[in-house]
Amino acid sequence: MEIKTIHGAVPGMETYTGIPEELKLAVLEKIKPSEAEKKKLLEIQEELAAEVKAAAEKLGVSGVLVKMVGSAARGTWLSGTHDIDVFISFPEETPRKDLETLGMAIAREVAKHAEYAEDRHAEHPYLNIIFKGFDVDLVPCFRVASASRIKSAVDRTPFHNDFVKARIKGHEDEVLFLKQFMRGSGVYGSELKTQGFSGYLTELLIIHYGSFDKVIEAACSWKPGEKIDIMQHSEIENEEPLVMVDPTDPRRNVAAALSLDKFCMFIDSCREFVKNPELKFFFPAPLPPLEDREILDRLESRKSTQLAVVFKTPNVVEDVLYPQLYKMEQSTATLLKEYDFSMIKTGVWSGKNETVIMLELISGTLPNVKKHIGPPVWVRTHAEKFKEKYEGAENVFGGYIENGKYVFEIRRKYPMAKGLLENQLMHCSVGKHVCQSVSEAFEIIENAEICRLKDFDFRVFLRKWM
C-alpha cells in the first residue's frame, strides 16, 4: 500500500496532510474492537464487579468499592488485547496491613472462579488471574481524596482513569491509532524492558494535541526536554527526554520511564510516517529468523567479532529481569573496554530458557604486547618505582622514554576477549538473579559458534543485530 504525499524541496519540510482516509479505515479495521468484542468485555467487567462485591460480603468486609480502570474501562483498548484492571478500593483510613490481607482475601475468593491465578507484587501484593480468557489484575488500593494524597502508587490509577474518561469521549480511535503506531515502531510500553510510552501517556498526548495527526506532526520537532503540562501546574524541575506532567499530580512525570532512545525512535518514526504514511508503520512485516548460512555470510562480510554471553534465564518477572540484564550489558562492555577491546555495540536478548548478552567488537584478539605508560621521568620517586617494577621483569618486552614518560611494553594479561570474559565475568556487577544464574553456568560463544543458538526469537533478534 503506497500513499503519496506532497513533497517539499527541503528534507523534513514536507506538508503533512494527515493520515489518509483509506489508511485510517485499513488500520481501524484491524485494531478497533467490534461491537461484539465490546459487549463481551462489558459483560465480563460487570461479572467481575459482582464477584468482588459478593466476595467482600461473604468475607464480611465493608466499605469496599469496585472500580474498573485501564484502557478496557476507557474504551481505548486495542482489539485482541484482553486485559482488565479491577481495583478493589478501601477507605483511606484502612490500615495498610488490613488492605493487603483483606484485599488479597477478596481477590482470592474471586479467583476461585478463574482458570488460573498468580500472586504478583508491585508496591503491594495483587492477584493476576485468567478469567474466561481475560487477563485480569485484581488490585487492592486506597480510596484517597486526591491524587496528591496517595498512599501507594496504584492509588493514582483511579484518578488517571477519571481524568481520561472525562476527556477522551469521541477521541478513542485517535488513541488506538497512536497506540498501534507506537507498537509498530517498537516504542509502546512503559515496562522496564521497553522503556517506551505507556497507555496513559498515549491518551494524554491525544488529549493535549487533539488528534493522532497532530501528535505525529508535533513529535517530528520534539527535542529532549519537551514539556507538556495540560493542567499548567508543574512542580517538576528535572530534565528528561519528555516531561508529561501528570494532570492529577503536579510532581509526577508520566513519561519518566521513557528512555532517550525510545523518545528518538518515536520522533524518527513520525518523520518517516509524515513523508510516507503507510500501513507498515502500524503493522510492520514480521522479521524472519536469521538462517545459519546468513549468519555465516554476515560474519564474513562484517569481519568484526561477535561474542555471546549465554546463560539460563532467571525465573523472575521482566520488570525485575531487564534492569539486571541492562546492567550486565553495561558492565561487560566496561570490562572489555578496560582491557583495551573496542566495542561496536552491545545488546540483550532474553527468551524463555536462555538469555544472551550480545557484544560486537572491532576485534576479539589483541596483540600480546601492551603499551604501559608510566609517570614522567622527572617525577622522581614515582618514576623510579615504576621503572624498578618493570625493567627486566618477567613478561616485559622492553621499555623506552616517550614524551617524557617511561613506557614499558608488557605482556597483555588477556589478549582474547573470550578468555577475559570467561575469567572475569563473575566480577562484573550484575543484579542478584542474573548473578545467581550466571554463577551456576554461563558460556561465551564466538562468531560462527552462534549458529548453535537455535531459538526462533533469538534468530529474529539477530536479523536486526547484524
From 62, 146, 315, 403, residue interacting with a second copy (rule: CB under 8 A): 403
Q: Which three cell numbers stand for residue 237?
A: 524541575
409: contact with a second copy by CB under 8 A: yes
Q: Which residues of 232-260 are buried (b: 16+ CB within 10 A; e: fewer)?
A: eebebeeebbbbbbbbbbbebbbbbbbee
**Residue among 40 and 411 whose Cβ is closer to a second copy:** 411
15: contact with a second copy by CB under 8 A: no
Burial class of residue 35, CB neighbours in 10 A (0-12, 13-18, 19+): exposed
- Separation of CA 133 from chain center: 26
From 108, 271, 372, 418, residue interacting with a second copy (rule: CB under 8 A): 271
Stretch that binds a second copy, among 107-115, 228-236, 258-266, 287-295 (CB under 8 A): 258-266
**Residue among 142 and 181 whose Cβ is closer to a second copy:** 181
Q: Which three cell numbers stand for residue 65?
A: 468499592
396: contact with a second copy by CB under 8 A: no
Quote the CA–CA distance of 95 and 151 in Å, as a whole number: 11
From 31, 102, 220, 425, residue interacting with a second copy (rule: CB under 8 A): 220
**Residue among 64 and 383 whose Cβ is closer to a second copy:** 383
366: contact with a second copy by CB under 8 A: yes
34: contact with a second copy by CB under 8 A: no
Quote the CA–CA distance of 362 and 296 in Å, as a whole number: 17
Quote the CA–CA distance of 353 and 307 in Å, as a whole number: 19
From 8, 12, 210, 288, residue interacting with a second copy (rule: CB under 8 A): 12
SS (H, E, C) 289-332: CCCHHHHHHHHHHHCCEEEEEEEECCCCCHHHHHHHHHHHHHHH
97: contact with a second copy by CB under 8 A: no
Q: How far is the CB of 195 from a second copy (least distance, A)?
A: 13
Quote the CA–CA distance of 404 and 331 in Å, as a whole number: 34
Residues 414-443 that bind a second copy (CB under 8 A): 415
Pairing of strands 369-376, 305-312: unpaired
222: contact with a second copy by CB under 8 A: yes
Stretch that binds a second copy, among 95-103, 218-226, 281-289, 452-460 (CB under 8 A): 218-226
Quote the CA–CA distance of 375 and 405 in Å, as a whole number: 5
Q: How far is the CB of 191 from a second copy (least distance, A)?
A: 20
Compute how many residues bind a second copy; rule: CB under 8 A: 53
**Residue among 300 and 319 whose Cβ is closer to a second copy:** 300
**Residue 346 in 3-state DSSP?**
strand
From 4, 97, 121, 223, residue interacting with a second copy (rule: CB under 8 A): 223
Residues 293-352 that bind a second copy (CB under 8 A): 301-305, 340, 344-345
DSSP bridge pairs for 89: 65, 141
Quote the CA–CA distance of 466 and 462 in Å, as a whole number: 6
Q: How far is the CB of 357 from a second copy (least distance, A)?
A: 16
DSSP states along 223-251: -TTEEE-TTS-----S--SEEEEETTEEE
Q: How far is the CB of 160 from a second copy (least distance, A)?
A: 28
From 98, 115, 235, 261, residue interacting with a second copy (rule: CB under 8 A): 261
Quote the CA–CA distance of 136 and 33 in Å, as a whole number: 18
Quote the CA–CA distance of 395 and 400 in Å, as a whole number: 16
Q: How far is the CB of 388 from a second copy (least distance, A)?
A: 6
**Residue among 365 and 439 whose Cβ is closer to a second copy:** 365
DSSP bridge pairs for 136: 84, 129
- Interacting residues with a second copy (CB under 8 A): 10-12, 220-224, 241, 260-261, 263-265, 267-268, 271, 301-305, 340, 344-345, 362-363, 365-369, 371, 376-378, 380-381, 384-385, 387-388, 397-398, 400-404, 409, 415, 464, 466
